[in-house]
A and B are shown apart, each in its own frame.
Chain A
Amino acid sequence: MDDAELMQRWQSGDRSAFEVLIQRWQQPIARFLFRLTGEAELTQDLAQEVFLRVYQAQQSYHENGTFAAWLYRIALNVARDSARRQKPTVPLSLYPEPIREEDPDQLELRTLVAQIISEMPEELRLVIHLRLDERRNFEEIARQTGTAASTWKSRFSRAMETLRSRLQQLGYGPEETTS
């Protein structure tokens, strides 16, 4: 049963349909929120908030777009609200140098990558999520968002270049990992 049918059933009083939607979408939404916020410990609470808003907006959903687009819009608003509530994180440029010598393990690299991504503009974080986490091609992303595929392509290149150069500045690169 697709999302639109489940929404219809839920709107007509079958709440088990809502629970199926939660099961289906909780992990994609968690991935999306994590990419936008870069905060693993916030993800559960924010995902809960997303589905609470979905629940409260049950009757205002109309099938003009896809359910996924509607859900992601809600998630984006939740992430934005959370960013407004959060204190700003320490910019990477203020990290003591060199980081790599102090703590060279993979956990450090994962934390850095998450932080570099969370400092990027929203559209770059979005394209990383859609292209790499959801593995959508640019044409699909363009259809879903209404923004040209070429724009998303150039955003993706910018995001990859930002990641590559920031990691290189911090002493991370392919040669070091293979040695």
Chain B
Amino acid sequence: MNCKEAKSRLVDLIQNELAPEVAHSVHAHLAQCPTCQKDYAEMQFVLESVRRTQAPSVQIEPAEIYQQAASHAEQQSRHWRRVSCALGLLAASFLIAFLSRNVEVRWTGSDPALTRTVIVEKESADTEQVRKQQEQIHHLMELTQALADEQQRREVEHQQELAELRAHVQETQQESIQWRAQMERQFAGLYQLYLVRKKGDLP
């Protein structure tokens, strides 16, 4: 075995992943090659250092996941409510803007006490223009209605998801209570056994 072949197998050798006969050949090469011996020692040091930097052990609680998922779903539902409100307001502003193009507010009278407002409809020179605007208003109203329907559908979905998640959380809590009771019973049984044995040991 030459240096290149030996070097390509150093990691496998250190991790005990080589077939015995290949491992034997690498060891034989290392025994007579100081350069590869140095590489081997360095690689061993690096791998050992990496191995020692192990991840901490983690414990994921499913109940926490269900709880977090429920709260996310609720947040999302609130977000959609806000979005639909904003869109509704926007649609209303558009409507007002369209309508105000066709009305005019005029202040009359010289005496401020007698001042009154009259709303005079502007005469539309172009009836085609009016028809188009009415169509646009109609579309806008349809869009607002569709958004409201969509929001309602999402709301129902979110409520269902929430109910499901709450049921999951409750079930998990019930299970852990049962587990705890069972553990306590087992512990009490073991303790009784211990007491009986201890009594038996007494002279």
A contact residues vs B (CB 8 Å cutoff): 15, 18-19, 22, 26-27, 30-31, 33-35, 40-41, 43-44, 47-48, 51-52, 55-56, 106, 109-110, 113-114, 117, 128, 131-133, 135, 137, 156, 160, 163-164, 167, 172-175, 177
Contact = CB atoms under 8 A, between A and B. Distances in A.
A25 B49 CA distance: 25
A167 B46 contact: yes
Nearest to A46: B58
Secondary structure call for the B interface: helix
A109 B49 contact: yes
A43 B15 contact: no
Contacts of B49: 109-110, 113, 163, 167, 172
Secondary structure call for the A interface: helix
Nearest to B66: A55
Interface string B38-53: 0001111111011111
Nearest 5 CB-CB pairings of A with B: A34-B55, A174-B45, A174-B41, A30-B58, A31-B55
Contact of A114 (B17, B45, B53, B57): B53
A30 B52 contact: no
Contacts of A51: 60, 65
A26 B55 CA distance: 11
Nearest to A18: B62
Given A19-B62, A109-B49, A135-B17, 10 more contacts: A26-B59, A30-B58, A33-B55, A44-B59, A55-B69, A56-B69, A110-B53, A113-B53, A156-B11, A175-B41
Contacts of A44: 56, 58-59
A177 B41 CA distance: 11
B60 A40 contact: no
B117 interface: no
Given A128-B50, A132-B47, A27 B58 contact: yes
Report the contact-size class of chain B (Cβ under 8 Å from the partner). Answer: 20 to 34
Contact of A113 (B52, B56, B72, B168): B52
A85 to B, nearest CB: 17
Given A52-B69, A135-B17, A173 B60 contact: no
In the complex, which of the residues B15, B42, B60, B72 has the most CB atoms of chain A within 10 Å of its own CB atom? Answer: B60
A169 B64 CA distance: 45
Interface in B23-81: 41-47, 49-60, 62, 64-66, 68-69, 72
Contact of A43 (B11, B56, B62): B56
Given A51-B65, A174-B44, A174-B45, A22 B60 contact: yes
29 contacts: A22-B62, A27-B57, A27-B58, A30-B56, A34-B55, A43-B58, A44-B56, A44-B59, A48-B64, A52-B68, A55-B69, A56-B69, A56-B72, A110-B52, A110-B53, A113-B49, A113-B52, A117-B53, A132-B15, A132-B50, A132-B51, A135-B15, A137-B17, A163-B50, A172-B49, A173-B42, A173-B45, A174-B41, A174-B44
A43 B45 contact: no
B56 A174 contact: no
